[in-house]
Amino acid sequence: MATLTYSRLLGTALLLGILAGAAPARAADLVVIVSARNPVATLRADQVAAIFLGQSVRFPDGTEAVPIDLRLGAPVRDEFYARVTNKTPALLKAHWSKLVFTGRGQPPAELSDSAAVRRKVADDPEAIGYIERSALDASVRAVLVVQ
- List the domains of the chain with CATH numbers: 26-146 (3.40.190.10)
- Give residue-wise pLDDT tens across range 62-114: 999 999 999 999 999 999 999 999 999 999 999 999 999 999 999 999 999 99
Q: Residue 138 contacts by C-beta under 8 Å, 6 or more apart in sequence?
A: 36
The three-state secondary structure class of 108 is coil
CA pair distance 140, 121, nearest whole angstrom: 7
pLDDT value at residue 27: 57
- 3-state helix/strand/coil string of 110-129: EECCHHHHHHHHHHCCCEEE
Which residues, in sequence order, are bridge partners of residue 39? none
Q: What is the pLDDT of residues 11-59, one digit of tens each?
A: 544 444 444 444 344 456 999 999 999 999 999 999 999 999 999 999 9
**Greater pLDDT, 147 or 44:** 44
**Axis-axis angle for helices 75-84, 89-101 (nearest 10):** 80
In the prediction, which pLDDT does 8 show? Answer: 58
Strand pairing report for 140-146 and 30-35 = antiparallel
The sheet carrying 109-111 orders its strands as: 109-111, 66-70, 127-132, 30-35, 140-146
29 alpha-carbon distance from chain centroid: 10
Position 7 pLDDT exceeds 60: no
